């Protein structure tokens, strides 16, 4: 569901995801994306770079890069 483009009804990209998908939201959005009974895919998929997962991955990469720079640069030691 995080990779479906719901347009104006897009859910928050906060993490952890359990804080976003609560109550009846999964059922509601599944019905919103239903083409016919048991068939989903009414809405297009988002490019991965526009999902919450890409944003988290970018933060992790920045953290490791900064850590590498600090740990390998004599200026910081």
Predicted confidence band of residue 77 (pLDDT cuts 50, 70, 90):
low
- 42-to-4, 38, 45 alpha-carbon distances in Å: 9, 12, 10
Predicted confidence band of residue 33 (pLDDT cuts 50, 70, 90):
very high
Domains in the chain: boundaries: 7-76
13 pLDDT higher than 90: no
Give the position of tokens 């016919």.
Answer: 36
- Say what percent of the chain tops pLDDT 90: 47
Q: Give the pLDDT of residue 2.
A: 92
């Amino acid at each position: 569901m995080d990779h479906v483009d719901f347009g104006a009804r897009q859910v928050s990209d906060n993490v952890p995801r359990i804080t976003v998908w609560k109550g009846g939201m999964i059922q509601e959005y599944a019905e919103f994306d239903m083409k016919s009974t048991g068939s989903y895919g009414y809405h297009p998929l988002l490019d991965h770079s526009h999902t919450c997962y890409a944003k988290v991955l970018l933060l992790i990469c920045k953290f490791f890069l900064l850590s590498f720079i600090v740990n390998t640069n004599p200026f910081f030691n």
